[in-house]
Amino acid sequence: MNTDLFSLQGRTALVTGASSGLGNHFARVLADAGARVVVGARRVERLESLVNDIQAAGGEAHAVAMDVTDGDSVTAAFESAEAVFGHVDVLVNNAGVADPKWFVDIDEASWDFMMDTNLKGVWRVARECCRRLIDAGKPGAVVNLSSVLGLGVQGMQSHYSASKAAVAHMTHAMASELWRYGIRVNALAPGYFKTEINADFFDSEKGQQYVKRIPPRRLGTLDELTGPLLLLASDASSYMSGVVLPVDGGHLWGSL
Ligand code: NAD
């Protein structure tokens, strides 16, 4: 049996939105699995301690400035990544935003902000990565961040839900086109994990009540995303593409 199934030795991974939350955790996990890790965020100074931690643990990491809503910044980030570590062959398309609002209160600016980051940003970064892999004749693995809200709905999240459902379906379409190049494309659909994106809600009384509706009656912990991420990023999923994997404590199939 191959016990190194989840190894990322020799790979270069790029994580967008790595300055906090899930992205910060993903970068550490990928480095622990042996990948050289490029961490991207708009504020590079927020990445310093992450890079230091990874290096102190014996890993390799490089920080790049990256705004996923700006094509030039995405191209520059890949140039920098390649110059330091070579081709990015594992992409974790993690950057995302939320802006809870009732459907009738969403204005054009909020709609555009949501779609430009959560959907167009994922497209923009994945296209850059895949073009470069195809030109180099190299295989790769893309992991997009969808959400349980891309598969189900919740009040005040209609534009967020629409963006994450689009990411899920774009994952299906990308998988169908890119297998021929040896590029697999899957998505994680996390349930609820407390990070900067939702901390205010889960610290509130309403948020605490909401948690009781999740079958385990608790939020997920970042460690509970480690296995699912490594599965999709590594050769352990060599025959999987187009999968949108819920990691949600069974929340989607909770009792009505
Ligand atoms: P977070 O707010 O801690 O992290 C999001 C990161 O994306 C931040 O570092 C932010 O700076 C970055 N970002 C936002 N806009 C960007 C831009 N234009 N360019 C570059 N980076 C940008 O929240 P999180 O919970 O860690 O979210 C990570 C991803 O997981 C998001 O896509 C989110 O939608 C998704 N998700 C989170 C949960 C959850 O419960 N936390 C559940 C489902 C899906």
- Write the pLDDT tens digit of every residue in 22-31: 999 999 999 9
Atom of ligand 1 nearest to the CA of 191: 42
Q: Which of 43, 195, 198, 225 to mutate to test the pocket of ligand 1 (most atoms within 8 A of CB)?
A: 195
What confidence tens digit (pLDDT) does each residue in 121-158 have?
Answer: 999 999 999 999 999 999 999 999 999 999 999 999 99
Within a domain: residue 253? Answer: no
Residue 110: which residues within 8 A CB-CB, separation 6 or more?
A: 99, 101, 159
Of 148, 152, 155, 147, nearest to 102 by C-alpha is 155
Instruction: Give pLDDT tens digits for 205-223.
Output: 999 999 999 999 999 999 9
Percent above pLDDT 90 for the chain: 97
Ligand 1 atom closest to 148 (CA): 43
Give me the domain span that covers residue 24. 3-245
Q: Is residue 175, in this structure, part of any structural domain at all?
A: yes
255 pLDDT tier (thresholds 50, 70, 90):
confident
Q: Could you tell me if the CB of 140 is within 6 A of ligand 1?
A: no
With a 6 Å cutoff on the Cβ, whether 23 touches ligand 1 is yes
**pLDDT average, residue stretch 45-51:** 95
- Determine, yes or no, domain membership for 256: no
Per-residue pLDDT of 96-111, as tens digits, reads 999 999 999 999 999 9
pLDDT above 70 (res 90): yes
* Domain assignment present for 148: yes
pLDDT at 177: 98
Q: SS3 for 88?
A: coil
The encoded tokens of residue 92 equal 């974790």
Dist. CA 82 → ligand 1 center (Å): 24
Angle at 240 between CA 178 and CA 29, to 5 degrees: 100
**What is the Å distance from ligand 1's center to 115 Cα?**
13
Residue 3 is predicted with a pLDDT of 66
The answer to whether residue 187 sits within a structural domain is yes
Mean pLDDT for all residues in the chain:
97
Cα of 145 from ligand 1 centre, angstroms? 9
Q: Choose which residue among 25, 97, 164, 221 to substitute to test ligand 1 binding: the one with the highest number of ligand atoms within 8 A of its C-beta.
A: 97
Inside any domain, residue 219 = yes
For the entire predicted model, the pTM comes to 0.98
Is 252 within the bounds of a domain?
no
Here the CATH number for the domain that contains residue 130 is 3.40.50.720
Report DSSP letters for 162-219, one per residue: HHHHHHHHHHHHHHHHHGGGTEEEEEEEE--B-STTTHHHHHSHHHHHHHTTSTTSS-
219 lines ligand 1 (CB under 6 A): no
* Alpha-carbon gap, residue 77 to 39, rounded angstroms: 9
Q: Residue 248 above 70 pLDDT?
A: yes
- pLDDT value for 1: 66
Distance 78 CA to ligand 1 centre (A): 20
Q: What is the mean pLDDT of residues 38-50?
A: 95
In a domain, 255, yes or no: no
Phi, psi of 131 (to 5 degrees): -60, -45
Q: Quick one: average pLDDT of 172-192?
A: 98
Specify which residues 37 forms β-bridges with.
Answer: 13, 61
Give pLDDT, residue 218.
98
The rounded Å distance from CA 181 to ligand 1 centre is: 29
Residue recorded with tokens 């509130």: 204
Is 239 assigned a catalytic role? no
Q: How many domains does the chain have?
A: 1
Q: Is the CB of 145 under 6 A from ligand 1?
A: yes
